[in-house]
Amino acid sequence: MLHCKMLTVVREDRILFKDLSFTIKPGEIVQIEGPNGVGKTSLFRLLIGLSTPYSGDIFWQGSSIDKDREFFYQQLLYLGHKSGIKPELTPLENLQFFQTLHAAEQDIDLWFVLAQVGLAGYEDVTTAQLSAGQQRRVALARLWINKCPLWVLDEPFTAIDKSGIAVLESLFIKHAEKGGIVLLTTHQDLRLDASLLRKIQLGGVAAGEEYV
Ligand SMILES: Nc1ncnc2c1ncn2[C@@H]1O[C@H](COP(=O)(O)OP(=O)(O)OP(=O)(O)O)[C@@H](O)[C@H]1O
């Protein structure tokens, strides 16, 4: 379970959000919503330890993440605006690299994974030569091989076409069914059934959504 308690973030003397609290249970897919600049990425940066809140705390499995950050990071897969892939390596080598460095499935067929993200036939091409969407797909392929329960995905669908988004939505459902958590931001309209997707609105209240 992920619990954010009374988080306040200030940037350049401006309060982005104040006393933000929410809890996400295993099996939930949660979209943080809000207009450009409202603080979605800033919230995620708190989660991954790239910045600290002005006040408040974040709890994972009942303990403050400050108490055992190493444990928390082992449980967390983060995908940010920058894909974190190595352009000089092939898609296959990128996944092998990820598999070696992180808690990842070792027995999974990486050719199968690359086919899942629509990169069959591109396994051995230098990633730098791929299109923007294909490069993003290389980064997203990590979702198939990681073993982390908590996925924090900042705009995962950037440059991804409609069929790619549908494949990812199915993967999110599978992850949630196994007790995982998907926390994401996107400006795309998701096709996930409303019963499967919880929305948390930053910076205002929209109909049918939750303001925290
Ligand atoms: N390190 C920083 N120093 C100063 N200001 C910052 C810093 N990081 C973010 N900000 C400001 O905080 C605000 C929120 O930025 P953030 O990236 O969290 O928004 P966002 O909701 O993710 O936006 P978008 O939908 O455009 O991705 C912006 O006005 C940004 O300029």
pLDDT tens for each residue of 15-53: 999 999 999 999 999 999 999 999 999 999 998 888 999
Instruction: Pick from 18, 31, 32, 41 the residue to mutate for probing ligand 1's pocket: most ligand atoms within 8 Å of its CB.
Output: 41
In the predicted model, what is the mean pLDDT of residues 193-206?
82
Report which protein residue has its CA nearest ligand 1's atom 10: 11
Residues with CB under 6 A from ligand 1: 11-12, 16, 34, 36-42
Q: How many CA atoms lie within 13 A of 167 on its CB side?
A: 17
Contact indicator for 43, 201 with CB cutoff of 8 Å: no
The angle, 0 to 180 degrees and rounded to 10, between the axes of the packed helices 132-140 and 162-177 is 10
Nearest CA among 51, 43, 49 for reference residue 24: 43
Distance CA 23, CA 42 (A): 18
In the predicted model, what is the mean pLDDT of residues 137-144?
96
- Spacing, Cα 41 to ligand 1 middle (Å): 7
Task: Give the CATH number of domain 2-201; options: 3.20.20.450, 3.40.50.920, 3.40.50.2000, 3.40.50.300.
Answer: 3.40.50.300
pLDDT at 204: 57
Q: Domain coordinates of the chain in residue numbers?
A: 2-201
Ligand 1 atom closest to the CA of 38, numbered from 1: 21
The whole-chain average pLDDT of the chain stands at 91
**The 3-state secondary structure of the chain, one letter per residue:** CEEEEEEEEEECCEEEEEEEEEEECCCCEEEEECCCCCCHHHHHHHHCCCCCCCEEEEEECCEECCCCHHHHHHCEEEECCCCCCCCCCCHHHHHHHHHHHCCECCCCCHHHHHHHCCCCCCCCCCHHHCCHHHHHHHHHCHHHHECCCEEEEECCCCCCCHHHHHHHHHHHHHHHHCCCEEEEECCCCCCCCCCCEEEEECCCCCCCCEEC
| Predicted confidence (pLDDT) per residue in 148-194, tens digit | 999 999 999 999 999 999 999 999 999 999 999 999 999 988 889 88
Adjacency order of strands within the sheet including 55-60: 14-24, 2-11, 55-60, 63-64
- Spacing, Cα 42 to ligand 1 middle (Å): 6
pLDDT at 210: 53
Instruction: Pick from 18, 42, 152 the residue to mutate for probing ligand 1's pocket: most ligand atoms within 8 Å of its CB.
Output: 42
